[in-house]
Amino acid sequence: MNAIYLDNNATTSLDPRVASVVNELMNERLANPASQHAFGRTARRILESAREEILELAGARTQGMASDQLLFTSGGTESNNLAIFGLAQQRPGTIVVSSIEHPSVLAAAQYLEQQGRDVLYLPCDSSGVIQLAPLTERIQHAPDSIALVSVMLANNETGVLQPIQQITHLCRPHAIPVHCDAVQAIGKIPLSFRDLDVDAMTITAHKLHGPVGVGALVLRHSAKIAPHHFGGFQQLGLRPGTESPILAAAFATSVSIAMAELTETNARMTRMRQKLEQSLMADLPNASILGIVSPRLPHTTSIAFPGIDRQALQLALDHAGIACSTGSACASGSSQPSHVLQAMGLPTDVIRGAVRFSLSRETTDEEIESARSIITQVVRRLAPRDS
């Protein structure tokens, strides 16, 4: 039996069309894009063309004096850290994050808290949507006390979409910077940097069939950040170091493919996700879909099997040929319960029995049908026997 990969929120496979771009460029004689000779200028053209293409596809402004910027990074974690530390250093006051953020945002906020900065953690309701009342109240009483708001566009565990435009509507009149982690959303749902009205947005290539090792922080033209790496002039000195034209071009190709196929892929993944959820609910009446009443990403589902240990279930499914996860890949080595599900206030047996399945455009109907059968069998085998 072929293994069924349902852990695409952790990473996706490299699209052959992207691999072809990488292979072609690796066989060329590319120099350092900062070099002034002809080889360097060629590398620079590839790099800047990729930067411009990603900005356009992400809905950023690329023309005129108010053009937005894109800083290439090593991935989502670095981009989130650069946004949190870089923006927070520009303004005193409170850092506002949600309680369901990715570990790369929460850990950065917690570090700043240890250094004496005030951090406000926005709560989350049982449907997986963050609550804006504490932010609204703070803005009404002391808008100048807020240094930065950082909230993800879509949660990586539940797939639940978050009210980013409501946040920017609250913050924009007071010039409060807003950062958005859009790693899981780009290429899965329609997305426009300018429509979101945020100041900074994190994206990365390996979540949409691009290579691991390259991400980006998109910045509004007026956004000011402080660098946290030093030693070079590249990327306006905000993220110095030699950029990779090959990774940049591969990133641009992966975004281009994802956007071109977005409508079809979105509909197909939504249909398959719903099929998996509905069939498992029919087979296993005790199962519950977390965040089901909220708008969600088309490819992500968090399903709880009360009475089943999530880690035992993940291992058993892995042995049976299905790859899934118990939460963020960045925290997969931890045996601690999901901070996202805890923030949702879910019952302990639900939290202990929840696993995440995430599809991609490569997932097939046949795989979904096989996964349904295998998951059902494994859950029934692990279910505690009545005494």
Catalytic residues: 330
Q: How far apart are CA 346 and CA 368, in angstroms?
A: 27
State whether the Cα torsion 342-346-349-355 is positive or negative.
negative
Q: Is 66 exposed, middle or buried (0-12, 13-18, 19+ CB in 10 A)?
A: exposed
Q: How far apart are CA 262 and CA 188, in angstroms?
A: 6
Who's near 262: CB < 8 A, 6+ residues apart? 187, 188, 189, 190
Helices and strands in the chain, H and E counts = 13, 12
Radius of gyration of the chain measured on its C-alpha atoms = 21
The residues pairing with 70 across neighbouring beta strands, listed in sequence order, are 218
Give the number of other Cβ atoms within 10 Å of residue 76's Cβ. Answer: 26
DSSP 3-state of 159: coil
Q: How far apart are CA 144 and CA 94, in angstroms?
A: 9
100, 155 contact by CB (below 8 A): yes
Report which of 85, 106, 122, 214 is spatially closest to residue 156, judged by C-alpha positions. Answer: 106
76, 215 contact by CB (below 8 A): yes
Who's near 38: CB < 8 A, 6+ residues apart? none
**Residue 144 CA neighbour count, 13 Å, CB half:** 0
DSSP secondary structure of 218-256? EE-TT-----S--S--GGGGTS-S---HHHHHHHHHHHH
